[in-house]
Structure 1
Amino acid sequence: MTAGPRDRLIEGAIELVREQGVHGAGLAALLDRSKASRNSLYQHFPSGKGELVEAATKVAGDRMATIIDRFTESGGPQQWLTALTGWWKKALETSAYSAGCPVLGAALAQSEPGVQAAAGEVFADWTGRLAVALSGAGVPADRARSVAGFMISALEGAIVQSRAMKSTQPLDDVLANLAPLLDSPQGTTRVPGS
């Protein structure tokens, strides 16, 4: 079954934002990538490109949330981090480092408040999911949200660096440095000098 214009528009927006960010994903490129007409765009997204990218950000966020849930169903925090970094390494290498996280691209769209807000909601959702999983793994609730947010921040930063450096070393660094924190009793490792 072929995807309809709405789904094609969302897929095209996700791909272009992964590659070029929101501002680099011009309307003509979105329509070309989606193989959709301008009429289809406005039929499904009456407010235009911003509404489309907002919807695409939420869809991309839901997809990654499913991956997070799958990874956190078994094993422990170190295994989850290993799985997440591995997933991103494969995604970056498969795209020859040309495509990153579409939610990060949306988060940088300062001139598109709805798009930026959608990205914030997605990041909060991912953090919440990881926090629940960390709590279930024995990390105290008051620390779980902070550790989960730090995991998301570290991964997203590493994705950006990996694209710029054309190397997965930043993701390897996240794994090497964050894994001991996750392995410590109840996620309470203290940084020297703190």
Structure 2
Amino acid sequence: MIAGAADLMSRRGVNATSMRDVVRHTATPRGSISHHFPDGKPQLIAEAVTFAGRQVSIPLEKAMNERGVIGGLKAFVASWRRQLEATGFEAGCPVLAVAVDRYVGEPSDKDDAAARQRLLDLAEGVFAHWRRIMLAALLREGLAAERAERLATLVVASIEGTVAMCRASRSADALDQVQEELEIVLASALACTKK
């Protein structure tokens, strides 16, 4: 159910992903939702964000450790390309969906503001983790901490934004362009450390 909710969020956003949709999408018994997620949709969405974050962070960290910054970037972009192309550019990032959707539950839900803030905090934590992975790789390759932090933010923000652009255009062209520019920027920054 958690993976199914993450998938639906990546395609539809948070608002358009209902508990009923998750049950249908995952072919699970209806009663299992309330059993596993007694706090309802906000709990399911929170677990889906955590799941989606790990789905990116584990291979990203592995790629950065094994291939270095430039190779890791290529692997990061390639993973997003595969997802976009495999879904006909329907699926993006469920973590981004949480960051841009306005409501978690029903718009009239009095607890919605608190639930939304919890989910925004969770999404920010996922983005921060991805930045820390990139930061660690840049530091290992000798970049100064302040510059490494800025570049880590640039990479994550660029890829997240570009995935959204690719969905809108139904093309990976923007991903190719952003990858090329990021490689130039990163290679230039890393070359300065070797002088």
What are the superposed Cα offsets for residues 145-193 of structure 1, whole Å, 9 maximum, x if unpaired? 11111100000011000000000011111111111111014377xxxxx
Matches within 5 A, 1:150-169: 150-169=154-173
CA distance 1:49–1:187, change in 2 (3 Å): farther
- 1:1-194 alignment runs, 5 A limit: 9-111=1-103, 112-186=116-190
Gaps of 5+ in 1: 1-8, 189-194
Letter in 1 for 2:177: D
State the Cα distance separating 1:60 from its structure 2 match. Answer: 1.0
Q: Which portions of structure 1, spanning 4 or more consecutive aligned residues, are displaced by more than 6 angstroms?
A: none
C-alpha distance after superposition, 1:65-88 (max 9, x if no partner)? 101111101233222211111111
* Aligned residue-pair number: 180
Conserved? CA contact 1:162–1:169, under 8 Å = yes
- Opposite residue 35 of structure 2, the aligned amino acid is Q
**Bigger mean CA offset, 27-36 vs 87-96:** 27-36
- Structure 2: state its 5+ residue gaps: 104-115
> What per-residue deviation string (whole Å, max 9, x for no partner) do you get for residues 48-107 of structure 1?
011101011001101211011111012332222111111111111011101111111122
Give RMSD over aligned pairs. 1.5
Instruction: Output the CA distance in 1 between the equivalents of 2:143 and 2:29.
Output: 50
* Residues 20-56 of structure 1: CA deviation (Å, up to 9, x unaligned): 0000112211111122234211211111011101011
TM-score normalised by L of structure 1: 0.87
Mapped partners of 1:43, 1:135: distance in 2 = 45
Shift of 1:132: 0.8
Q: Is the 8 A contact 2:6 2:45 kept in 1?
A: yes
Query: Do the aligned partners of 1:107 and 1:117 also contact (CA within 8 Å) in 2?
Result: no
Deviation track 1:105-141 (CA, whole Å, cap 9, x = no partner) reads 1222333222222111100111111101110011111
Q: Which residue of 2 aligns with 1:5?
A: none
Range moving further from structure 2, 112-121 or 59-68: 112-121
Does the 8 Å CA contact 1:14/1:53 hold for their aligned counterparts?
yes
Query: Distance in 2 between the 1:43 and 1:87 partners?
Result: 34
TM-score by length of 2: 0.87
Which amino acid is the alignment partner of residue 130 of structure 1? Answer: M
Check the 8 A contact 2:89/2:167 in 1, yes or no: yes
